[in-house]
Structure 1
Amino acid sequence: MGRRRPNRQLAALLAESGWSAGELARAVNALGTKYGLRLRYDRTAVAHWLEGSRPRPPVPGLVAQVFGRRLGRAVHVGETGLESTAAARGSADAVLSAGDPVERLIALCHADADPGRRLALNRKMFTAADIPLPVWPQVAGPQADRPVGMAQQMTPRRDARLADMVAVFADLAEKYGGAHARSALGAYIADDVTPRLVPAPDGGAPEPVVLTGSACLLHLLGTMAADAGLPNLGYHCYRSALDLAHRAGDRNVYAITLRTMAVLALRLDDMTRARQWSQAALEVAAPTATPDVRCYLHAGRAAVRAAEGERRAALAELLAAERSHETAAGTGPDTADGAGALGPFTRYPPAAFHYVRGEVLQALGDHAQAATAFQESLAVRPSAHHIALVLTHTRLTETSLALGELDGALEQCRQLCAHYPYTASRRTVTALTTVRRSLAPYRRHPQARQIRDHLAQLMRRTSDAAR
């Protein structure tokens, strides 16, 4: 073996950022936690990188991201000098490099079915360059006021199978989380959906209704992957959903997917992408969005603005979302166009809207108003939606503690503990960790200590089940 060459690119980035080796290691470890990774790098590891060693993926991508956030500009993996060799990254690239979205979708679903290839895909960091920037036809004349999303294109009369499967898997994800039945969804897409996306022998293209339904299923697969602790895999699924939605000419589904990606970026502390994608979602959907879609998009944008500390802008977006929510509530379900069967992509449930409203208000420090919003969400949330119930009770625990109401917080903890065993989700695991830490100052309180012990038991059971 030849001698390693010093990594001058990484050294230059360190000098530009003003970081020490230890500070870079801590930043990478912290970001890795957001992606469900337990990293233990220190200044010695960074010293080895500077000498020419290369960490395994996705660490080079994490290094590029933390430098990008530090420097306020895009930093690509190649600039770090840590990029893997072609042989090491070949299998993942083979899946993701297919130019045709249908070919890429087929390869993605088959790779997802293999645990080893699935992890390799999740190590392939997603970049902003992977997002297509399509040109949409101008909407003019009498058609401009008519929504052209799934509600028009995908009715039960035209394709009840895809509509039903969208509803089934969305409901499973709401109840039990992304780590439950995700592989079943991937298999269904690979075995039953992709054959319908392949052009017919006579050259006929797939119908827009099939493309739109497939985009919705890929969107759900991405959401379930991210919820199972595979965020990069989720992003790759979302990318395929965007491609299919664009082919279908469905601006609403395209915008919904962008908004969902923005919220995932927000959870990963990637504010640049969260800001860009949440704004792009509104721009894409603007001409044709239904009130439900506008509510969903404005609520997502409000969450991003609140996280950035932009109080006035966040409240303005929240007001726009509330107005759209009132308009949507006044119209009621339109069973004629099949919206009822396509709830995940045509209706924004009040429970979900009030939850996001609570998140925005909590981020802005309005804990009393946030608690009211979370309670309004609970009042209309189905009792079997265990994921959302765990997350909502977690939020109410936080707001209660912020308001000095320990007894109320402990009652919320009891409620979330009742729903947690039904879940298979990275978000609920994180929620339990957050709650247990928030109760640490009260460890001498008998009931608080008892609940903390119970939370620890639940977390151990989760850890044992994952082995």
Structure 2
Amino acid sequence: MGQRSPNDQLAALLAESGWSGGELARAVNALGTKYGLRLRYDRTAVAHWLEGSRPRPPVPGLVAQSLGRRLGRAIHVGETGLGGMAGGGASTDTVLKAGDPVERLIALCGADADTNRRLALNRRMLTDVDIQPPAWPPAAGPQDGPPDGAVPNQAPHGDARLSDMVTVFAELTYKYGGAHARSALGAYITDDVTPRLVPSPDGEAADPLVLAGSACLSHLLGTMAADAGLPNLGYHCYRSALDLAYQAGNRNVYAITLRTMAQLALRLDDMTRARQWSERALEVADPTATTHVLSYLYAGRAVVLAVEGERENALADLLAAENSLDTEADPAPLRPFTVYPPAAFLYQRGEVLLSLGDRGQAVTAFQQSLAARSPAHHIALVLTHAHIAETLLSLGEVEAALEQCREIFVHYPFTASRRTTMALTAMRRCLAPYRRHPQAREVRDQLIHLTRRKAGVAAP
């Protein structure tokens, strides 16, 4: 083997950041946890990287993201000197580099159906692939939109078959989580949807309503992947949804997808993209967007602003979302992409207030969300009860918090979701100081039992 060359690029970035090797290792480990990875790097590992060794993907991407967040600018893998390690293979490159959104969607579904290719694709971090949304000028009037005869402002459910399937898979996701039935959605897109997206032999383009409905399904596939612990795969699916919505001329589906991408970025502590995408969603939204869409977009940006500590702006967006909310809307049947349920808004109100330090008001909002939530939406119920329990513990209300935990026990067994598993893990940590409290110890033991029993059930 040839002698390794010192990694001067990584050394320069490390010096600029002011971090030691151990601090970089800890940052990479912490970020890896957000992506569902158990990493145990230390200063020795970083020393090896500086000497010229290269970790396997997705670690180079995690290094780039960690350094980028420290330095306040985008850092690509190539800038770290850690790129070039084989990880995804030609098939992964084929998926990501497909220029046509229909071809990319077919390739994504095919990759998701194969465990090895799925995991290889999920190792491709955002810093490896440029996933910038297609340029779409800010909405100024009905004349704005892409060329080529696309029909703007159409609802995504003009096609009855696609509308029904969007509803079916959205309902399954809300009930059970992203690790349930995702392969069925991928198969449906591949076998039934993509053939309708291919231009006819005489060159006639696909129906814009079919394109928009396909964008909704690709969006759902991304949401399911992210919820199953495959966030990068989720981003790639969202990118296809953006492209399809753009081809359809549907600003609202495009904006909704950007907003959802922002929430995923927020969960990954990527504040730059969370802010960028939540703002872009409101810029792009159709000037004739419904109150439901506007409420959804404002609430999403309010959450981001609250996490960043911008109290006045966050509350202003929350008020705008509330003013746009149609509280008289019939929540059944579920109409994803067209209806923003009050229960969902109240949950996000709770998140905003919690981030701003208004814990009592946050608990009230979460409780109101529970009252309006379908008893079958197990994912949201687990997450909401967990939020309330953690907040009550922080207020010293131990008994009330334990009651919330017992409600979690009812719904968690129905879920196949990394988010709910992480919520229970966080709850266990919150209860750790109460080991001498008999009921708290009993609840914590039950949380441990549930998460261990579920280990592997919601695996990607």
TM-score, normalisation: structure 2: 0.95
Q: Secondary structure at the match of 1:32?
A: helix
1:2-401 equivalence runs, <5 A:
2-85=2-85, 89-127=89-127, 129-136=130-137, 140=141, 149-151=153-155, 154-155=157-158, 159-285=159-285, 287-325=287-325, 328-329=326-327, 332=329, 343-401=335-393
Deviations 1:56-112 (CA, angstroms, capped at 9, x unpaired): 111111100001000001111100000124685433111110111111111111111
**Aligned-pair RMSD on alpha carbons?**
2.0
Question: Per-residue deviation at 1:139?
Answer: 5.3
Q: Secondary structure at the match of 1:457?
A: helix
Deviations 1:391-448 (CA, angstroms, capped at 9, x unpaired): 0000110121122211110100000111100000000000101111111121111110
Q: Which residue of 2 aligns with 1:432?
A: 424
Residue among 435, 445, 449 paired with 2:441? 449
Partner Cα separation in structure 2 for residue 257 and residue 34 of structure 1: 21
Deviations 1:109-133 (CA, angstroms, capped at 9, x unpaired): 1111110000010001124831233
Q: Secondary structure at the match of 2:103?
A: helix
Partner Cα separation in structure 1 for residue 144 and residue 92 of structure 2: 43
Partner Cα separation in structure 2 for residue 175 and residue 141 of structure 1: 37
Q: Secondary structure at the match of 1:269?
A: coil
User: Are 1:458 and 2:459 counterparts?
Assistant: no
Judging changes above 3 Å, is the alpha-carbon distance between structure 1 residues 20 and 89 closer, same or farther for their aligned structure 2 residues?
Answer: farther
Residue among 391, 395, 404 paired with 1:403? 395
Letter aligned with residue 42 of structure 1: D
Partner Cα separation in structure 2 for residue 31 and residue 104 of structure 1: 28
Q: Secondary structure at the match of 1:82?
A: coil
Partner Cα separation in structure 2 for residue 14 and residue 253 of structure 1: 41
CA contact 2:56–2:85 (8 Å) conserved in 1: no
CA contact 2:343–2:368 (8 Å) conserved in 1: yes
Judging changes above 3 Å, is the alpha-carbon distance between structure 1 residues 87 and 348 closer, same or farther for their aligned structure 2 residues?
Answer: closer
Partner Cα separation in structure 2 for residue 409 and residue 341 of structure 1: 33
CA contact 2:224–2:234 (8 Å) conserved in 1: yes
Q: Give percent identity, aligned residues only.
A: 72
Deviations 1:311-355 (CA, angstroms, capped at 9, x unpaired): 111111111111011xx235x46xxxxx97771100001111100
Question: Per-residue deviation at 1:288?
Answer: 2.6
Give the unaligned 5+ runs of structure 2.
146-150
CA contact 1:252–1:288 (8 Å) conserved in 2: no
Question: Per-residue deviation at 1:143?
Answer: 11
Partner Cα separation in structure 1 for residue 452 and residue 87 of structure 2: 38
User: Are 1:417 and 2:409 counterparts?
Assistant: yes
Letter aligned with residue 129 of structure 1: D
Partner Cα separation in structure 1 for residue 139 and residue 170 of structure 2: 32
Judging changes above 3 Å, is the alpha-carbon distance between structure 1 residues 107 and 218 closer, same or farther for their aligned structure 2 residues?
Answer: same
Partner Cα separation in structure 2 for residue 78 and residue 445 of structure 1: 52
Letter aligned with residue 187 of structure 1: A
Partner Cα separation in structure 1 for residue 247 and residue 142 of structure 2: 23
CA contact 1:164–1:341 (8 Å) conserved in 2: no
Partner Cα separation in structure 2 for residue 229 and residue 192 of structure 1: 26
How many residue pairs get matched? 453
Question: Per-residue deviation at 1:462?
Answer: 1.2
Judging changes above 3 Å, is the alpha-carbon distance between structure 1 residues 137 and 12 closer, same or farther for their aligned structure 2 residues?
Answer: closer
Question: Per-residue deviation at 1:459?
Answer: 1.1
Partner Cα separation in structure 2 for residue 30 and residue 238 of structure 1: 25
TM-score, normalisation: structure 1: 0.93
Judging changes above 3 Å, is the alpha-carbon distance between structure 1 residues 295 and 137 closer, same or farther for their aligned structure 2 residues?
Answer: closer
Q: Secondary structure at the match of 1:178?
A: coil
Partner Cα separation in structure 1 for residue 293 and residue 4 of structure 2: 54
Letter aligned with residue 6 of structure 1: P
Q: Which residue of 1 aligns with 2:148?
A: none
Give the unaligned 5+ runs of structure 1.
334-338
Letter aligned with residue 327 of structure 2: A
Question: Per-residue deviation at 1:134?
Answer: 2.3
Letter aligned with residue 452 of structure 2: R
* Higher helix content, 1 or 2: 1
Judging changes above 3 Å, is the alpha-carbon distance between structure 1 residues 189 and 9 closer, same or farther for their aligned structure 2 residues?
Answer: same
CA contact 2:152–2:248 (8 Å) conserved in 1: no
Judging changes above 3 Å, is the alpha-carbon distance between structure 1 residues 465 and 247 closer, same or farther for their aligned structure 2 residues?
Answer: closer
Partner Cα separation in structure 1 for residue 431 and residue 390 of structure 2: 10
Q: Which residue of 2 aligns with 1:336?
A: none
Letter aligned with residue 133 of structure 2: P
Judging changes above 3 Å, is the alpha-carbon distance between structure 1 residues 20 and 288 closer, same or farther for their aligned structure 2 residues?
Answer: same
CA contact 1:355–1:392 (8 Å) conserved in 2: yes
Letter aligned with residue 360 of structure 2: A
Judging changes above 3 Å, is the alpha-carbon distance between structure 1 residues 371 and 137 closer, same or farther for their aligned structure 2 residues?
Answer: closer
